């Protein structure tokens, strides 16, 4: 039986990098029966241009009935002037919320071949393998009330609400503890419990969940310290679990430990394991159409999709091995180039991974 994959290329470099991931999936499709049934739908700016909204109803409908979703990126300067409610990013946020994909897994793995591509010393990052589990459908991204209003004196104020319920904290912590069980068994919960009530509750619930996991060790860290520790000694971490906004920030930070944000894939899972897969980077308007975007984060996201939603861990392993072998051969997109390597474009990188399968 083939798996239904909904592809949402989106904006900016989205279509370029998604094409390379599809090339890799196609290269796996060698048997008599196609393994993947690929459908495309618009989201973000592309959808705004086509139908006036960033998440059209047919896109949402199709995302509900498919087995997994592979997304490129959304957003771009063209749509920045639009009202907040219909900006491209709102399409992505609505999709995450509608699908209930609350557990966002963002692995930051420093490939040994890229140790020199990081801005940090090679010794600090070599061997790094940390998993950030970011809460994705709650917190300040979604809390109400929110808006921009005028004070009585006419001065405007912007406001958002940081709110987390116990059940929201509990389920994402469980996802982190379950993941830690399959790794080195350590979870660091990152919060700002010295200042925020939402974090105080977060810490309490994380501690309760930990009681059910004898084999996993829980520690807590304030987010400012966590940012410092990620740069100072990132290898102390195994699994980090944190809120939506802290996870957004820390995962960009962690990506630079690996050499480039163009290397970080992600899986966003619901309670049943259905998932939305996307690179953690954005639409990169500055390099659109130049053929230099790094497709590896998206290719690795496709590997995560095979592992977590399509029950094909063997194929995921093959993709990950192919990526490693291409890096071994010294092929690099410009974002991960270092002396002595060969710079290639988006397409050549995708071709090389497909060929290495
Ligand atoms: C990410 C991105 C998104 C986020 C944007 C594009 C809305 O930065 O996936 O990390 O903030 O979640
Ligand atoms: Mg981000």
285-312 pLDDT per residue, tens = 999 999 999 999 999 999 999 999 999 9
Shortest-distance ligand to the CA of residue 94: 1
Q: Is the CB of 261 under 6 A from ligand 1?
A: no
Cα separation, 150 vs 319, in Å, equals 53
SS3 content of the chain, % helix, strand, coil (to 5): 45, 20, 35
Ligand 1 atom closest to 136 (CA): 12
Provide the 10 A C-beta neighbour count for residue 325: 16
Q: Which residues are catalytic?
A: 141, 192, 224, 248, 252
Q: Tell me the CA–centroid distance for residue 289 and ligand 1, in Å.
A: 21
pLDDT at 1: 74
| Residue 116: φ, ψ to 5° | -85, -5
Q: Indicate the pTM of the whole model.
A: 0.96
Cα separation, 111 vs 15, in Å, equals 25
Q: Is the CB of 280 under 6 A from ligand 1?
A: yes
Q: Is the CB of 16 under 6 A from ligand 1?
A: no
The candidate with the shortest Cα–Cα distance to 199, out of 209, 211, 189, is: 189
Q: How confident is the model at residue 31 (pLDDT cuts 50, 70, 90)?
A: confident
State mean pLDDT over 149-167.
98
326 contacts 352 by C-beta, under 8 angstroms: yes
Query: Which residue has its alpha carbon closest to ligand 1 atom 7?
Result: 89
Asked whether the CA dihedral 171, 238, 105, 5 is positive or negative, the reply is negative
Tell which one of 89, 244, 277 to mutate to probe ligand 1, the residue whose CB is within 8 A of the most ligand atoms: 89
Q: Tell me the CA–centroid distance for residue 79 and ligand 1, in Å.
A: 16
Span 49-99, pLDDT tens digits: 999 999 999 999 999 999 999 999 999 999 999 998 899 999 999 999 999
pLDDT at 116: 87
State mean pLDDT over 254-263.
94
Residue 189 or residue 118, greater confidence: 189
216 contacts 186 by C-beta, under 8 angstroms: yes
Span 168-220, pLDDT tens digits: 999 999 999 999 999 999 999 999 999 999 999 999 999 999 999 999 999 99
For the chain, what percent of residues have pLDDT higher than 70?
99
Cα separation, 341 vs 299, in Å, equals 21
pLDDT at 32: 64
Distance of CA 40 to the CA centre of its chain: 20
Q: Tell me the CA–centroid distance for residue 150 and ligand 1, in Å.
A: 28
Q: Tell me the CA–centroid distance for residue 305 and ligand 1, in Å.
A: 19
The mean pLDDT value of the chain amounts to 96
State mean pLDDT over 302-327.
96
pLDDT at 34: 73
Q: Does pLDDT of 115 surpass 90? A: no
Query: Do the strands 129-135 and 68-73 form a parallel or antiparallel pair, or are they unpaired?
Result: unpaired
Q: Which residues pair with 133 in a beta bridge?
A: 105, 241
For the chain, what percent of residues have pLDDT higher than 90?
95
Cα separation, 28 vs 252, in Å, equals 30
Residue 84 or residue 284, greater confidence: 284
Alpha-helix runs per DSSP H in the chain: 14-28, 45-51, 57-65, 88-99, 122-125, 166-181, 197-210, 223-232, 244-257, 296-308, 313-328, 346-356
Cα separation, 241 vs 210, in Å, equals 12
pLDDT at 193: 98
């Amino acid at each position: 039986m083939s798996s239904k994959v909904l592809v949402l290329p989106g904006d900016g470099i989205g279509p370029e990098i998604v094409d390379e991931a599809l090339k890799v999936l196609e290269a796996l499709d060698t048997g008599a029966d196609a393994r993947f049934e690929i459908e495309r739908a618009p989201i973000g700016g592309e959808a705004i241009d086509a139908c006036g909204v960033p998440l059209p109803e047919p896109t949402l409908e199709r995302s509900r009935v498919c087995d997994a979703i592979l997304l490129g990126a959304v957003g771009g300067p063209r749509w920045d002037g639009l009202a907040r409610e219909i900006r491209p990013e709102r399409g992505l946020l609505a999709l995450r919320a509608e699908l209930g994909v609350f557990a966002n897994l963002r692995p930051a793995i420093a490939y040994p071949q890229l140790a020199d591509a990081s801005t940090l010393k090679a010794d600090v990052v070599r061997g790094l393998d940390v998993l950030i589990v970011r809460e994705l459908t709650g917190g300040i991204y979604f809390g109400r009330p929110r808006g921009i209003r005028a004070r009585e004196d006419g001065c405007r104020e912007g406001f958002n609400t940081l709110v987390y319920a116990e059940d929201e904290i509990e389920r994402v912590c469980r996802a982190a503890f379950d993941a830690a069980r399959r790794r080195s068994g350590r979870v660091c919960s990152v919060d700002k419990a010295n200042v925020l009530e939402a974090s105080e509750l977060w810490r309490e619930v994380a501690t309760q969940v930990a009681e059910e996991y004898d084999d996993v060790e829980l520690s807590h860290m304030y987010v400012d310290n966590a940012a410092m520790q990620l740069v100072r000694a990132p290898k102390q971490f195994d699994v980090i679990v944190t809120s939506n906004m802290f996870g957004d920030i820390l995962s960009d930070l962690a990506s630079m430990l690996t050499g480039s944000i163009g290397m970080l894939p992600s899986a966003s899972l619901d309670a049943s394991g259905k998932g939305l897969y996307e690179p953690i980077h954005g639409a990169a308007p500055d390099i659109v159409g130049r053929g230099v975007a790094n497709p590896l984060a998206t290719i690795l996201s496709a590997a995560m999709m095979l592992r977590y939603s399509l029950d094909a861990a063997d194929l995921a392993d093959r993709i990950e091995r192919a990526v490693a072998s291409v890096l071994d051969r010294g092929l690099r997109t410009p974002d991960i180039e270092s002396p002595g390597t060969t710079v290639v474009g988006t397409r050549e990188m995708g071709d090389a991974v497909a060929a290495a399968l």
